[in-house]
């Protein structure tokens, strides 16, 4: 899988941004600038939603990085429903003002991929992890640890995008997907990791450390 460049604005948003700007411009030219103001505001909102800034990768080699920007809404020990093992789940909730580009939390090979259609309830709720539309990646690290990274659609989100395929190698911080308009990402980790976050913490994709593999 090729590395995705960082053009500041995510490629998934280009059609939406172009459409919003075109509508605002047409109303500005053919109606009036006053009528166009709400449409320019919408265009600015769409532009900020699809921003995709580059991020610095922490030098700590055993770090497990945040896969998304947002707020920590769950840190709990439970059963990983994909690999059927005891795990620690850390969930990051993204609101409409967060960057929605999703990035790999670890270096490793994508061993499997599962897509599950589902509902679109509020992604801030715990039941969203198993009831909502979702896409899961099983990533096997070089030292044999299993990490499951799950994109979960939300109340407004209606499209999960994932470019990673089985057999791909992902580098820490490498972009692998995008979720449009509010959602969450769940990460299932081995139970012996050191947790670095608490519920309510704000995290940023790639630059924030969720946990550490014990050496």
Work out the burial of residue 198: count CB atoms within 10 Å of its CB; fewer than 13 is exposed, 13-18 middle, 19 or more buried. Answer: exposed
159-195 as b/e: b if 16+ CB within 10 A? ebbbebeeebebebbbbbbbbbbbbbbbbbbbeebee
- Give me the mean pLDDT over the 126-155 stretch: 85
Res 2 pLDDT > 60: no
- Give me the mean pLDDT over the 180-184 stretch: 75
Res 3 pLDDT > 70: no
Show the tokens assigned to 35: 């009528």
- Give me the mean pLDDT over the 120-142 stretch: 76
Q: Torsion angle, CA of 68/213/73/183, rounded to 10 degrees?
A: 30
In a 3-state reduction of DSSP, which class is residue 11? helix
Q: What pTM was estimated for this model as a whole?
A: 0.84
At 33-69, the pLDDT tens digits run 899 999 999 999 888 778 888 888 998 989 999 999 9
Q: Tell me whether residue 183 is one of the annotated catalytic residues.
A: yes
Average pLDDT, rounded, for the chain: 87
| Chain centroid offset of residue 192 CA | 24
| Chain centroid offset of residue 63 CA | 18
Could you give the percent of the chain with pLDDT greater than 70? 87
Catalytic hit among 91, 129, 183, 208: 183
DSSP category for residue 2? P
Q: How far apart are CA 62 and CA 213, in angstroms?
A: 5
| Chain centroid offset of residue 19 CA | 24
- Give me the mean pLDDT over the 4-23 stretch: 79
Show the tokens assigned to 39: 């449409």
DSSP category for residue 198? -
Nearest one of 208, 171, 201 to 68, comparing CA atoms: 208
- Give me the mean pLDDT over the 112-139 stretch: 76
Nearest one of 58, 108, 72 to 187, comparing CA atoms: 72
């Amino acid at each position: 899988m090729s590395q995705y460049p960082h053009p500041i604005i995510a490629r998934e948003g280009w059609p939406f941004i172009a459409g919003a700007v075109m509508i605002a411009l047409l109303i500005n030219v053919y109606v009036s600038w006053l009528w166009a103001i709400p449409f320019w505001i919408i265009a600015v909102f769409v532009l900020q939603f699809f921003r995709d800034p580059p991020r610095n990768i922490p030098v700590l080699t055993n770090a497990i990085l945040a896969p998304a920007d947002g707020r920590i809404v769950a840190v709990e020990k439970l059963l990983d429903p994909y690999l059927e093992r005891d795990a620690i789940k850390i969930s990051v909730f993204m609101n409409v003002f967060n960057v929605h580009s999703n990035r790999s939390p670890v270096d490793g090979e994508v061993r499997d991929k599962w897509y599950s259609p589902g509902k679109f309830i509020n992604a801030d709720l715990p039941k969203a992890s198993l009831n909502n539309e979702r896409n899961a990646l099983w990533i096997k690290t070089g030292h044999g640890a299993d990490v499951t990274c799950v994109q979960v659609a939300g109340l407004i989100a209606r499209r999960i995008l994932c470019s990673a395929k089985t057999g791909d190698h992902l580098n820490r911080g490498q972009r692998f997907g995008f979720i449009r308009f509010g959602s969450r990402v769940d990460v299932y980790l081995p139970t012996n990791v050191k947790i670095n976050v608490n519920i309510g913490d704000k995290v940023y994709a790639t630059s924030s450390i969720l946990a550490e593999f014990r050496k």
